[in-house]
Amino acid sequence: MREKYEYQPKEIEPRWQSRWEMDGLYRSVIDPTRSKYYALTMLPYPSGDLHIGHWYAMTPSDARARYMRMQGYNVLFPMGFDAFGLPAENAAIRRGIHPKEWTYANIERMRAQLKSMGAMYDWEREAISSDPEYYRWSQWFFTKLRQHELAYRKMSPVDWCPNCNTTLAREQVWGEDRHCERCETPVVKKDLEQWFFRTTKYAEELLDFSNLDWPERVKTLQTNWIGKSVGASVIFYTEQGDPLEVFTTRPDTLWGATFMVLAPEHPLVEKISHISQKSEVEAYIHEALRKTDIQREAIDKDKTGVFTGGYAVNPVNEERIPIWIADYVLMTYGTGAIMAVPAHDQRDFEFARKYNLVVRVVIQPDDLSPLDGATMLEAMPAYGMMVNSGPLSGVAGSEAFDRTIEYLEEKGVGKQAVNYRLRDWLISRQRYWGAPIPIIYCPEHGPVDVPDDHLPVLLPEDVEWLPTGESPLKLHPTWKHTTCPICGQTAERETDTMDTFMCSSWYHLRYLSPHFGQWPFDPTEYAYWMPVDTYTGGIEHATMHLIYTRFFHKAGRDMDIMEGVEPMIQLRNQGIVLGEDSEKMSKSRGNVVAPDDLVEKYGADTVRAYLMFFARWDLGGPWNSSGIEGTARWLRRVWNLVTEKVESNSDPNTLRILRRKVHQTLRSVQHDFEAFEFNTIISSLMELLNEMYKARDNGAFGTSEWYEAIEIYIRMMAPVTPHIAEELWAYLGKGYSIHQQSWPAVDEQAAAEETITLVVQVNGKIRDRIEVPADISDEQAKNSALSSQFVLKYLNGKKPRKVIVVSGKLVNIVI
């Protein structure tokens, strides 16, 4: 008897991996005769080790890319590293390793770990954002954006993380306590001169998702983040004659404005403040500046403010109203000034009651008894008929908004206006390990672009590691000294580096031609591969990376660098794998699952299959280490089924049932791949395997139907478990490689059921199940149901009131 051929993933997996690599099996090259498919997974930060979350994100997207390849597409599936960033620098400060050394060593290790996954990455397209040949083009994009006035520098109060020692973009400040997205330290405000990208220019276009197959959740998050409000801008005048513009979403309440409120930082505050109020105003401003944003923006906080002594004139009724300052008005939204309508805005109402200001009702809803400003207990924000509103009194609530805007435009005191919550993207970082911002400050010419032929502005490597809070670039003895590209005078380099989200905004383009020297990407490659067809990654990037990359693409399009409306057509998000204790995995909790250990114990195929099986991919969930035994068992059972030889004793019925199940499974696996429902791919395959064991027990082994089943089975599992599939394919004597096979076609005839189980209900409760031919007519179904002995018992000689037939499924008899 021959020795049993055993499943040994540790032997099989590395063997096939090196064979695939040697043969360049996963190289993707332009082929105009085939449809392209660009599948992309968000690239990792080289933090040290590939953790189970990376596997969870990458395995299903790899499986799906492989599936698309078997479907005949020319698939591009690249990988790279988002290699600039803070952890590298922190490691340098803590352990004295140079960030470059740390980063590239991590990349080495992670690349090897990625290879152990057996994914079909085309490694010749790998891009690393910290390579000079990469960041040269990040810098080039910066220059282009500046030339198109999409990058600019301004002094403004910005968010500063005192732990990371750098400014952050608004998107990187999270949560109620406004903490740093990376280290969770609450941020503070600082007035600094910083570089921004003009994302707000694209606010309106970014709200248009009509060309995108993206999850509703992401679209909602982005829509809320952009925060569009439609209203009016109205110009009031101070008594000194200065225009004071306000934005309001309720122009119909304009006649109810009984005072104005400016943010303490508003530029007109000093000028309008009356001498008698000056000391009080100054004290308030001082206090406001001292407070953190958290204190200022706490919603349940009592409103505070101070009268400036100044007055403004309401342009619609020439009324003289007092101007206050209060920190509930934010300088960063709208114009930093509001008209206060206490009768119809709860915030203004609270303020008015506290400081005894006039509350005047100008909106009267039809279904309420008349409102009285003197006695009302809260603001009435609903629309309604305009009252006390001069020429517009009596206008119905449904017309109030539009009629007021018409009136404002006629009088020339205001117009329709739109405001967005979205801010421009702050990209300056006071850190070393990033792409230097390619700017030179000349005493005569101000900030000057580094000319293209001087790019990249290289990061110096001989820097000091001192946790001073200052960028090492600033402290470097010589690096910043240079000459002005225009006049040749002594000048200084910008010492800030760029936000790493800048690098990741265009990496999908660098993959196209990572070593191309003339342009950020080879236009021929772009024309063939772009846009990205499927993009997968975590939801946490909904308002960061995914807004930036869309902005970047649209800006690139307007600069005639890129083409098309959107960079990534289809987006899908995976969930998060939690520790076995249902908590977020972290070293300090000691609940981290290490993929390397699992690969060592079970092999990569089992880990891949389990990650796809154990939870819904879009939801994720807590890890369960005993569950992996199930997928390990599955693969052993597949192995044994294919490699064991048993007695054959075929009967036509068994073979018919086998073929039916095979083709039904094929149909559903196909559907699930298209729909990103990976867990049911595995369960369908397990189900079919159980069926195949039954068929073998019934003598199906060795027949042509048997081999068809086996071959289809291996092809279906190839995207999920590429190594065992290749090994078994070779075992069967089929040609190398399984991964160049095409996806099998469903034989619909074979998949069709000959009989169905007709469910018979009486008053909606199941009383019988009858096997009937699948093509049974409704009339026949009804008759079969009515002659069921169980039905007869319930009918008890009576006639049914109603009989409902659902074709091919069910009969419900109502008594």
Partner RNA sequence: GCCGAAGUGGCGGAACAGGCAGACGCGCACGACUCAAACUCGUGUUCCUUCGGGAGUGUGGGUUCGAUUCCCACCUUCGGCACCA
Q: Which residues contact 271 (CB under 8 A, 6 or more apart)?
A: 238, 240, 242
Q: Which is nearer to RNA, 151 or 362 (CB)?
A: 362
User: Binders of RNA among 511-570, rule CB under 7 A?
Assistant: 539, 543
CA atoms within 13 A on the CB side of 223: 11
Smallest distance, Å, CB 228 to RNA?
9
Q: Which is nearer to RNA, 167 or 812 (CB)?
A: 812
User: Binders of RNA among 587-646, rule CB under 7 A?
Assistant: 613-616, 619, 621-622, 624, 626-627, 629-634, 636-637
User: How many binding residues for RNA (CB under 7 A)?
Assistant: 81
DSSP 8-class letter at 594: P
Of residues 60, 336, 514, 595, which one binds RNA by CB under 7 A?
336
Site for RNA contains 291 (CB under 7 A): no
Print the SS3 string covering 318-330. CEEEEEEEECCCC
Q: Which is nearer to RNA, 97 or 772 (CB)?
A: 772
Phi-psi region of 380 (alpha: psi -120 to 50; beta: other; left: phi over 0): beta
Smallest distance, Å, CB 737 to RNA?
27
User: Binders of RNA among 16-75, rule CB under 7 A?
Assistant: none
In single-letter form, the type of residue at position 456 comes to P
According to DSSP, the residues that pair with 801 across neighbouring strands are: none
- CB of 340 closer than 8 Å to CB of 258: yes
Smallest distance, Å, CB 230 to RNA?
9
Smallest distance, Å, CB 502 to RNA?
20
Smallest distance, Å, CB 308 to RNA?
17
As a whole number of angstroms, the distance between CA 194 and CA 155 comes to 6
User: Binders of RNA among 737-766, rule CB under 7 A?
Assistant: 756-757, 759, 761, 763-766
Smallest distance, Å, CB 289 to RNA?
15
Q: Name the segment binding RNA (CB under 7 A); options: 73-81, 218-226, 367-375, 477-485.
A: 218-226
Q: Structure tokens of 777?
A: 């007519």
As a whole number of angstroms, the distance between CA 769 and CA 788 comes to 9
Site for RNA contains 330 (CB under 7 A): yes
As a whole number of angstroms, the distance between CA 628 and CA 420 comes to 48
Smallest distance, Å, CB 266 to RNA?
10
Per-residue string for binding with RNA, 130-169, x by CB under 7 A?
A: ----------------------------------------
> Per-residue DSSP letters for 723-764?
HHHHHHHHHTTPPS-GGGSPPPPP-HHHHS-SEEEEEEEETT
Of residues 49, 280, 297, 492, which one binds RNA by CB under 7 A?
297
In Å, how far are 254, 322, 380, 403 from 342, measured between CA atoms? 11, 13, 9, 22
Of residues 301, 411, 415, 515, which one binds RNA by CB under 7 A?
301
Smallest distance, Å, CB 535 to RNA?
19
Per-residue string for binding with RNA, 656-685, x by CB under 7 A?
A: ---------------------x-xx-xx--
Q: Structure tokens of 609?
A: 């299959």
Of residues 105, 443, 769, 792, which one binds RNA by CB under 7 A?
769
User: Binders of RNA among 253-272, rule CB under 7 A?
Assistant: 263
Of residues 3, 149, 176, 779, which one binds RNA by CB under 7 A?
176
Q: Which is nearer to RNA, 68 or 257 (CB)?
A: 257
Smallest distance, Å, CB 301 to RNA?
5
Smallest distance, Å, CB 214 to RNA?
13
Q: Which is nearer to RNA, 149 or 647 (CB)?
A: 647
Of residues 421, 474, 557, 734, which one binds RNA by CB under 7 A?
421
Phi-psi region of 395 (alpha: psi -120 to 50; beta: other; left: phi over 0): beta
Q: Which is nearer to RNA, 220 or 398 (CB)?
A: 220
- Helices (H), strands (E): how many in the chain? 27, 33
Q: Which is nearer to RNA, 398 or 757 (CB)?
A: 757
Smallest distance, Å, CB 361 to RNA?
17
- CB of 362 closer than 8 Å to CB of 316: no
Q: Name the segment binding RNA (CB under 7 A); options: 78-86, 272-280, 321-329, 591-599.
A: 321-329
Site for RNA contains 368 (CB under 7 A): no
Site for RNA contains 698 (CB under 7 A): no
**Please, what is the Cα angle at 205 between 202 and 206, to 5 degrees?**
80
Q: Which is nearer to RNA, 262 or 604 (CB)?
A: 262
Of residues 35, 690, 777, 787, which one binds RNA by CB under 7 A?
690
Question: Backbone phi, then psi, for 37, in 5-degree steps?
Answer: -145, 115
Closest C-alpha among 317, 318, 324 to residue 273: 324
As a whole number of angstroms, the distance between CA 514 and CA 521 comes to 7
As a whole number of angstroms, the distance between CA 341 and CA 674 comes to 54
As a whole number of angstroms, the distance between CA 803 and CA 781 comes to 11
Smallest distance, Å, CB 220 to RNA?
5
Strand-by-strand arrangement of the 810-814 sheet = 765-773, 755-762, 810-814, 802-806
Of residues 41, 59, 404, 419, which one binds RNA by CB under 7 A?
419
Site for RNA contains 693 (CB under 7 A): yes
Q: Which is nearer to RNA, 589 or 769 (CB)?
A: 769
Q: Which is nearer to RNA, 35 or 783 (CB)?
A: 783
Smallest distance, Å, CB 447 to RNA?
29
As a whole number of angstroms, the distance between CA 332 and CA 14 comes to 57
Q: Which is nearer to RNA, 381 or 523 (CB)?
A: 381
Q: Which is nearer to RNA, 507 or 614 (CB)?
A: 614
Per-residue string for binding with RNA, 779-808, x by CB under 7 A?
A: -----------------------x-x-x--
Smallest distance, Å, CB 249 to RNA?
4
Q: Name the segment binding RNA (CB under 7 A); options: 45-53, 103-111, 217-225, 739-747.
A: 217-225
As a whole number of angstroms, the distance between CA 609 and CA 607 comes to 5
As a whole number of angstroms, the distance between CA 244 and CA 237 comes to 5
Site for RNA contains 586 (CB under 7 A): no
Site for RNA contains 298 (CB under 7 A): yes
- CB of 235 closer than 8 Å to CB of 247: no
As a whole number of angstroms, the distance between CA 350 and CA 329 comes to 13
As a whole number of angstroms, the distance between CA 525 and CA 527 comes to 5
Smallest distance, Å, CB 731 to RNA?
19
In single-letter form, the type of residue at position 171 comes to E
As a whole number of angstroms, the distance between CA 27 and CA 121 comes to 8
Site for RNA contains 493 (CB under 7 A): no
Smallest distance, Å, CB 345 to RNA?
6
Closest C-alpha among 15, 10, 3, 196 to residue 730: 15
